[in-house]
Amino acid sequence: MLGKLLASALFAGAATGLIVGLLQLLFVQPVLLHAELYESGELVHFGGAAISAHPDLPGFDPVRDLLSVVFTMLTYTGYAFILVALMLVAEERGAQIDARSGLIWGVAGFVAAHFAPAFSLAPEVPGVAAADVGARQIWWFATVGAAAVAMWLIAFGRNWALWGVAVILLAAPHLVGAPEPDTFTGPVPTEIGALFAARALGVGLAAWVILGAFSAFFLDREQRRG
Amino acid sequence: MKTEAQTVAATRSATLPALFAVILGVAVITMTGHLQAATLHDAAHDMRHATGFPCH
C-alpha cells in the first residue's frame, strides 16, 4: 500500500512539476525579472521621467532556471504525497478515483493550497512591502490547513452542519486577517504586481488540475497492477 | 460485495500509509517552500514567489 502510494505520488509530482516549472518560466518569470529591475533600483518609477513598460529583461539563466524547475518538481511531489494519501482514504470510503475525477480533486487542491492563502496574501512579486516572513508563514500554514479540511467537508460532508463548518473554516483566516506591513515601501509598479499575482494564480490552477489528474491516474494504474 | 470485516481491514491498511505520506508531504513543502536557510532560499527563490509562498 505504502509503496503504491509513494510511487504514484512520485510519478505525478515529478511530471506535474516539470510541466509547471516550464509554465512558470514562460509566464511568471519574465514578470518577476521585470519587478527585480525596480527592486534593485535599476529602474525607478514615480519619478520625473516616464519609464518604458518594456525594458530589456535578463534572458534564460541556466543555473537559476534549472534550480527553479527542480524545486517546482520537489514542491509538487510534496503536494502529491498529500493528495494521493487523501485520495486513497477517500477511495476506501467509497469515492471513485480516476483521472477524470482527479481534475476536481485538483481544483479543490488549488483552492486549499493556493487560492485560499492568496485571497489575503496575494502572490508577491520581489520588492513589495510585506510583514515579517515568519508571521506570514504561520498564517499561510493555518489558512491552507483550514481550507483543506473545509474542502474535504464540502466534498464528503453529508449535512448542513458540516458544510457550515466548512464555510467558517474558509472565511475565518480572512476575517482574522493576514499579517500586513506597517507601511508601504515597495518600489515596484502596481501594474507589475497585479500581473504577477494573476499569472501566479493562473499557472497555479493549471498546476493543480494537472496534479489532480496525474495523481488519480497513477494511483489507479498502480492499484490495477495488483 | 465486501463484508464489514474486510472493509475495516482495508481502512486500517490505508490509514497509516496515508498518515506517513501526509507527514512526508508537509515536510517536503516546508523544506522547498518555507525554510529560510540562505542557500535553500536563494535556490528556491523564484519558485517560492511564483507559487505564492511567503518568501522574504
What digits encode the pLDDT tens for the residues A9-19?
999 999 999 99
Q: How many CB atoms lie within 10 A of CB A183?
A: 6
Q: How far is B4 from chain A (nearest CA, A)?
A: 12
How far is Cα A37 from Cα A89, in angstroms, rounded to an integer? 47
pLDDT for B2: 53
Q: Assess whether pLDDT exceeds 90 at residue A55.
A: no
3 state SS of A190 = helix
Identify the closest residue of chain A to B45 by CA–CA distance.
A68
Q: Specify the residue for cell string 525554510.
A: B35
Give the DSSP letter string of A141-189. Answer: HHHHHHHHHHHHHHHH--SHHHHHHHHHHHHHHHHH-----SS----S-
CB A80 within 8 A of CB A211: yes
The total number of structural domains that make up chain A: 1
| A112 vs B contacts (CB less than 8 Å) | none
pTM: 0.93
Identify the closest residue of chain A to B40 by CA–CA distance.
A71
How far is Cα B8 from Cα A99, in angstroms, rounded to an integer? 26
For A75, which of B19, B22, B29 is closest by C-beta distance?
A: B29
Assign B12 a pLDDT band (cuts: 50, 70, 90).
low
Q: Assess whether pLDDT exceeds 60 at residue B8.
A: no
ipTM: 0.93
Which sequence spans correspond to the domains of chain B?
A: 15-56
- A40-44, A72-76, A195-199, B25-29, range with the lowest pLDDT: A40-44
How far is Cα B29 from Cα A31, in angstroms, rounded to an integer? 24
Please answer yes or no on whether A201 and B52 come within 8 Å at the CB atom.
yes
| A91 vs B contacts (CB less than 8 Å) | 14
Nearest to A187 by CA among A29, A34, A51, A41: A41
Cell numbers at residue A160, please?
A: 448542513
Amino acid, res. A132: D
- What is the per-residue pLDDT across A90-113, written as a single tens digit (0 to 9) for each? 999 999 999 999 999 999 999 999
Higher pLDDT, A56 or A123: A123
Please answer yes or no on whether A78 and B27 come within 8 Å at the CB atom.
yes
Alpha helices, DSSP H only, in A28-123?
29-39, 62-92, 99-110, 116-118
Domain span holding position A6: 2-224
| B44 vs A contacts (CB less than 8 Å) | 67-68, 71
Mutation choice for B interface testing from A61, A74, A121, A196 by most B CBs within 10 A: A74
pLDDT for B49: 95
How far is Cα A190 from Cα A188, in angstroms, rounded to an integer? 6
CB A1 within 8 A of CB A152: no
